[in-house]
Amino acid sequence: PSPKSFQPNGANEEALRCEIEELKQKDLALDQEIAQLLSEGYSLEELDKHISLLHEYNEIKDAGQMLLGKLAVIRGVTTKQLYPEYDLELSD
């Protein structure tokens, strides 16, 4: 293939521009949300700690979901069928 075949065409360029604009808007919205939280008295350290704890929670939850999935395969049932056995809510 020629090097030109790796160049984005007009449609791809436009899609990338749209994606960049969406990311800029999300960045602005997040900056505004952070400013709002700071104005409510939260500190950056507190927000960083909260984000860190959310990441840790999500990693633990992902590991639990993986284990439930493997157990479901071993038992030949769905993961959903295991939830009542472990007192889990479907929203967990």
- Residue indicated by tokens 């439930």: 68
Residue (of 87, 80, 59) closest to 71 by Cα position:
80
Query: Which sign does the torsion angle of CA 50, 56, 62, 67 carry?
Result: negative
pLDDT one-digit tens code per residue, 29-79: 999 998 998 899 988 888 889 899 999 999 999 999 999 999 999 999 999
Domain of 85? 43-91
Residues 47 and 78 in one domain: yes
Residues 81 and 47 in one domain: yes
Residue 37 half-sphere exposure toward CB, CA atoms < 13 A: 14
pLDDT one-digit tens code per residue, 6-35: 555 677 888 899 999 999 999 999 999 989
Residues 65 and 87 in one domain: yes
